[in-house]
Amino acid sequence: MDQIELERQNGLGLSEAIKSATINRTMAISMGALTTALGMIPLLSDLLFDQMAATIIGGLAAATVLSLFVMPAWYRLAYKESPLPEASSTQDILITSEQKA
């Protein structure tokens, strides 16, 4: 969500910000989950840790799908297309205060 907000603050529309943020984060999310899941594969043959390894692999797969597909879709449904308000610059504040005086 932070990446989507950053993209929107950079001037992208809602749909474009979601696409860009998802593409930017795909590699980091998928590689982190994939390396950990691959590290758990040897534990699947161990009688003591097989259930834990299967749970971790399943949890990583579910979290990856949620992060890359479900969360952006929910974000799109929850937020409108309106642009985010931009921060006022110091010059705008000075002009406004001079107009009041």
Distance CA 40, CA 70 (A): 25
pLDDT at 84: 52
Q: Among positive and negative, which fits the CA dihedral 39, 43, 49, 55?
A: positive
Number of domains in the chain: 1
Q: Give the C-alpha separation, 46 to 30, whole Å.
A: 26
Residue 52 is encoded by which pair of tokens? Answer: 């834990």
Q: What is the pLDDT of residue 92?
A: 47
User: 67 lies in which domain range?
Assistant: 2-100
Contact 85, 23 (CB under 8 A): no
- Note the pLDDT of residue 11: 87
pLDDT in tens, 12-57: 888 898 999 999 889 999 999 999 999 999 999 999 999 999 999 9
Q: How confident is the prediction for the chain on average, in pLDDT?
A: 83
Would you state the pLDDT for residue 80? Answer: 75
Confidence of residue 2 (pLDDT cuts 50, 70, 90): confident
